[in-house]
Amino acid sequence: MASDPLPYARPLPGTQPPVLYPDYASTQKRAPKRAPIRLEHTLSETTGPVFEGGWAGPDSTDLTRRHKGAPLGERMILQGRVLDEDGRPVAGTLVELWQCNSAGRYHHQVDQHDAPLDPNFTGAGQAVTNAAGEYRFLTIKPGAYPWRNSPNAWRPAHIHLAVFGPAFVTRLNTQMYFPGDPLLAYDPIFQSTADAEAREWLIAQYDPELSEPEWALGYRWDMVLRGRHATPLDPA
Amino acid sequence: MAGKLIPTPSQTVGPFFSLGLDRPEWNDLTVGNPAGERIVIEGRVTDGDGAPVPDAVVEIWQANAAGRYAHPEDQQSDKPLDPNFRGFGRCATDAEGRFHFTTVKPGTVPGRGNSLQAPHINVLLFSRGLLIHLHTRIYFEREAANAADPLLSSIEDPKVRGTLLARREGSGQAGSPPRYRFNIVMQGENETAFLEL
């Protein structure tokens, strides 16, 4: 009989958002009311889709050269690593990205914000992390935009990223924010994670080393996925 | 013990996720012609008012027909890997909150200890209004292995347990695969049993 799989660590209290966060109004009718059933991890939880081999399609990391012309806005490089809790790189995993344009409008029919669409910007990309767990995108800085969560509410500029990691339980959908954005203090989605140190992981760092002269600003952002419990056989 | 770094907090996919997550072909897991019984799973996602959720995305992860996951950690050498089956699917809901997958029925997979888990499909649900995704499982009604399944048998309330069972629908056209219905109720009466993993 094979031994039980080594479980993944559970998040510490306050380091992930709750399902019900009334300040984000849409949670009120979508948050389950019954407590979830705690399940010990089996192969069903410690395995997950493998993206090596390219079946998810080729990397698409330059969002600025999809159309005839160049999109408007500040060109920026977003680069970082996908890591586990022990700082080990997560290689070969799929990262999917989407964002609005520099005016704060998504290339999406549901978005009716009175800001211009940019015919040269769609706002989607994907990359599989390399052996060092790294990904890199070239894009333009997204704008802030209003939303109807509460009167005069504005989302801080953000980029959506989704990543799988090695297991079903490491799946992560998150948003990357920009340092020093005054809207962060007012944004219930950002604020929904109670732990201030955990929230800091949502903010990219401006990195002058990553900026390319006369070309693009560089932002560095690492994503950390759930890691495994260490055991005597696992000295890390 | 937990490691040194804090995992990145989850954030909602928001209403515009189809820009980045749109893979309409990923709801058919049988395109490579894998071994096993083909099935269709259809369902609807509804909120606390019973209203359809048109901006959700459902992802599924499952073992192949023999009960083996296409992942290096599954070392059940007595079961074949199926090179034509990856086991992962995704479907965004439509304006009526509906989703559907075509796949193969998974085999039984080992549970903890010496237990056996009944055939099941692991489910992730993302949507606007979910700051962090929900987990659940799809089991199949009238499956003999359900009686000994550790998760199903741990749920005392039959009504709650029943939310994890996909219901066999009346047979469709002759020769078409069996259809199962699995609705996801995010909140309220008949709320789906969600899992903390």
pLDDT averages per 10-residue partition of chain B, 197 residues: 81 97 96 97 98 98 98 97 97 98 98 97 98 98 97 97 95 84 97 98
| Spatial CB neighbours of B83, under 8 Å, sequence gap ≥ 6 | B32
The three-state secondary structure class of B66 is: coil
CATH class of A50-225: mainly beta
User: Which residues have C-beta within 8 Å of that of residue A131, sequence separation ≥ 6?
Assistant: A89, A91, A92
Q: Which residue ranges form the domains of chain B, and what is each CATH number?
A: 18-185 (2.60.130.10)
| Phi, psi angles (nearest 5°) of residue A25 | -55, -35
C-beta atoms of B195 and A29 within 8 A: no
Q: Which of A49-58, A220-229, B82-91 has the lowest mean pLDDT?
A: A49-58
Q: Is A38 exposed, middle or buried, given 0-12, 13-18 or 19+ CB atoms closer than 10 A?
A: exposed
Q: Do A85 and B72 touch (CB under 8 A)?
A: no
Query: Per-residue pLDDT for A236 more than 50?
Result: no
Length of chain A: 236
B191 pairs with which residues across the strands? none
A134-186 pLDDT, tens digit each: 999 999 999 999 999 999 999 999 999 999 999 999 999 999 999 999 999 99
The whole-model pTM stands at 0.96
Nearest to B93 by CA among B42, B134, B163, B140: B42
CB contact A108 to B (< 8 Å): yes
DSSP E strands, chain B: 38-46, 56-62, 88-92, 98-104, 109-110, 116-117, 120-127, 134-140, 165-168, 179-181, 184-185, 195-196
Give the pair of three-digit tokens for residue A178: 């920009």
- Give the closest residue to A163 by CA, choosing from B82, B80, B11: B11
Question: Considering only CA atoms, which of B105, B101, B121, B123 is closest in space to residue B66?
Answer: B105
At A11 the three-state DSSP class reads: coil
* A116 neighbors A105 (Cβ within 8 angstroms): yes
CA distance A144 to A16: 24
Q: Taking a C-beta distance cutoff of 8 angstroms, is the pair A126, A97 a contact?
A: yes
Residues 175-234 of A with CB under 8 A from B: 175, 189-190, 192-193, 195, 197-199, 201-202, 223-227, 229-230
Q: Which chain B residues contact residue A110 at CB under 8 A?
A: 15-16, 55
A18 at B interface, C-beta within 8 A: yes
